[in-house]
Structure 1
Amino acid sequence: MDWTGFGLNAAVTLGVTWVLLTLTWAVAVRIGRHSIVDVVWGSGFVVVAAVSLLLARAQDAGTAGRGWLVLALTAAWGIRLAVHIARRSIGAGEDPRYAEIQDRATGSPAAHMYRRVYLTQAAALWFVSLPVQVAMYQDGALWSGASLVVTILGVLAWGTGLFFEAVGDWQLERFKADPANRGKVNDRGLWRYTRHPNYFGDACVWWGLFLLTAGHWSGLVFVLSPVVMTWTLARGTGAPLTEKRMASSRQGYAEYVARTSGFLPRPPKKT
């Protein structure tokens, strides 16, 4: 493990995420719509992964196979998420979450949003992406010995996560497209087993990327990255805010909550 190279990489990617989110803020202020930051969220991880791989290859550090694999998995997840959110937001107004944050501003609304949303997301993006960054600088075999086991487990976890996230989003999109479902709760498909298949899938993706680095102790150092991501999705700004909004706008949501798991998929309870 090239710790010197990784330290340089971490400093560079910290600057990259700050510049990326600052530019996003400037565009959002100009167009008057801060929800575009959600599109940048997924693609931002792809940028960090690509920059990290380029720096590692320039320093001849790490195993190229692991680096390209992690970049490919990160890109497949991040680009799909960015495209999905961009398509979903076409013709929609400002996200109620960001409108509420902006309404609480005591001084400049733009400065308030920059501190509360963009700097926070830049820090979160950089911290959660640390396993992706460290993967680029790890030496050793990828498909043999103990590394083979964690590599397979990592790819399986990532694949499970992408399945839940992509299929869950597709099922919800189809449900909303039917006018007969307006104001109703989607309890079909994956949504029958968990109220948040997309958030569960997101967590699995990041545990999978972490596992790709867990064959060496240098990867285990950054276990807090997927922990923070999972907590944010399940207990932070993910599921709780979504459920607060759904409870006041969807018929039968309380009954849905009573019978359906909040995060981990499991058969619905009998009520």
Structure 2
Amino acid sequence: MSGASGWAAFAVIAVASLLFLVVLHGVTMAIGHRIGRYNVVDVAWGLGFVGIAWLALILGPGDATRRWLFAVLVTVWGLRLSWHMYQKSAGKGEDPRYTELLERSGGSDLVTVARKIFGTQGISQWFVSLPIQVSAVSDATTGLWWIVLVAGIALWVLGFAFEAIGDAQLRRFKADPANKGKIMDRGLWSWTRHPNYFGDSSIWWGIWLIAASSWPGVLTVLSPVAMTYFLVYATGARLLEESMSKRPGYPEYQRRTSYFLPLPPRSKKASTP
């Protein structure tokens, strides 16, 4: 990034990204209000990052190789995730997480919905995407910093594999009538109770490493920290565990399977209290 011109270019990208998210979530909230469920925001999650990556590619004056790399990686990840969330929610009712959130917030009026669901997700997307925005105005990766960039790509690939394979395994498991009422504890789900969330976290740490391969991308480290916090403690694994722990067999699954980081599973005999 070269002086005042670099920061000015970043400001343009940052404002354009914010405006894009406002429009995206405004349209998504209108759709949610019309169909009577606001979990459509999950479909907009991946699409928001895709839009920001392409804005950064088009508006950014920084290293073109890294801008194109981000556009491709984020598009592959974001479109897959949004399509998965669309298939998961189509024809079904509201996500219990959002029902509970709105009940705790005092109702489902549009102001509360905008503030607690769509506004929160939009701000989170903008903050988490800072490595992409900053990288769009950064100089080319040089010297040994290429090792950091390659490590970032490798971590992204690992995360994408965990997320995509974990989702596919769970989808096949649920599609089999013989598994009705059973707990998914096979494949990647025997190594971690949340392979999709672990994969998502790895993807964003990989994106940060790619951005950190050129100054000042390293300064955006709080973005993957925030994403990991959301996935583990705020809206992801913790809330899911609260509901799943009430299902028969899940406490035993918890005792033998790692919460987040993939670890070799303990035997079913060892997990019996």
Answer whether TM exceeds 0.5 for this pair.
yes
Shift of 1:21: 1.0
Match of 2:127 in 1: 127
Distance 1:213 1:98 in 2: 33
Q: Give 1:242-253 correspondences, 5 Å limit.
A: 242-248=240-246, 250-253=247-250
Residues 53 and 68 in structure 1, CA contact (< 8 A), matched pair in contact too:
yes
Q: Give 1:188-227 correspondences, 5 Å limit.
A: 188-227=186-225
Distance 2:34 2:87 in 1: 21
In structure 2, the CA distance between the partners of 1:231 and 1:105, relative to structure 1 (3 Å rule), is closer
Shift of 1:184: 1.2
Distance 1:166 1:262 in 2: 18
TM-score (norm 2): 0.93
Whether 1:82 aligns to 2:79 is: no
State the one-letter code of the partner of 1:129.
S
Distance 2:238 2:211 in 1: 30
In structure 2, the CA distance between the partners of 1:81 and 1:108, relative to structure 1 (3 Å rule), is closer
- Deviation string 1:143-185 (CA, Å, 9 cap, x unpaired) is x522310111011000000000000000000111111211111
Distance 2:127 2:17 in 1: 10
Whether 1:50 aligns to 2:66 is: no
Q: Which runs of 5+ in 1 are unaligned?
A: none
Match of 2:10 in 1: 6
Match of 1:37 in 2: 41
Q: Which runs of 5+ in 2 are unaligned?
A: none
2:266 is aligned, of 251, 264, 269, to: 269
2:150 is aligned, of 149, 152, 177, to: 152
Whether 1:97 aligns to 2:97 is: yes
TM-score (norm 1): 0.94
State the one-letter code of the partner of 1:87.
Q
Distance 2:256 2:153 in 1: 31
Distance 1:216 1:152 in 2: 13
- Deviation string 1:102-148 (CA, Å, 9 cap, x unpaired) is 3345366222111111110010000000001112111123xx52231
Distance 1:106 1:229 in 2: 27
2:24 is aligned, of 20, 23, 30, to: 20
1:256 is aligned, of 249, 253, 273, to: 253
Distance 2:13 2:99 in 1: 35
Whether 1:113 aligns to 2:113 is: yes
Residues 70 and 135 in structure 1, CA contact (< 8 A), matched pair in contact too:
no
Distance 1:88 1:117 in 2: 19
Please identify, of 161-170 and 235-244, the stretch whose mean Cα deviation from structure 2 is larger: 235-244
State the one-letter code of the partner of 1:93.
G
State the one-letter code of the partner of 1:47.
G
State the one-letter code of the partner of 1:252.
G
Match of 2:63 in 1: 63
Report SS of the residue matched to 1:75: helix
Residues 200 and 263 in structure 1, CA contact (< 8 A), matched pair in contact too:
yes
Residues 45 and 74 in structure 1, CA contact (< 8 A), matched pair in contact too:
yes
Match of 2:231 in 1: 233
Distance 1:78 1:168 in 2: 16
Match of 1:180 in 2: 178
Distance 1:127 1:82 in 2: 19
Percent identity (aligned): 49
In structure 2, the CA distance between the partners of 1:107 and 1:186, relative to structure 1 (3 Å rule), is closer
Distance 1:110 1:247 in 2: 32
Residues 47 and 78 in structure 2, CA contact (< 8 A), matched pair in contact too:
yes
In structure 2, the CA distance between the partners of 1:107 and 1:96, relative to structure 1 (3 Å rule), is closer
Shift of 1:75: 0.5
- Deviation string 1:72-118 (CA, Å, 9 cap, x unpaired) is 00000000000111111222111111122233453662221111111
In structure 2, the CA distance between the partners of 1:177 and 1:107, relative to structure 1 (3 Å rule), is closer
Residues 25 and 118 in structure 1, CA contact (< 8 A), matched pair in contact too:
yes
State the one-letter code of the partner of 1:181.
N
Count of aligned pairs between the two proteins? 264
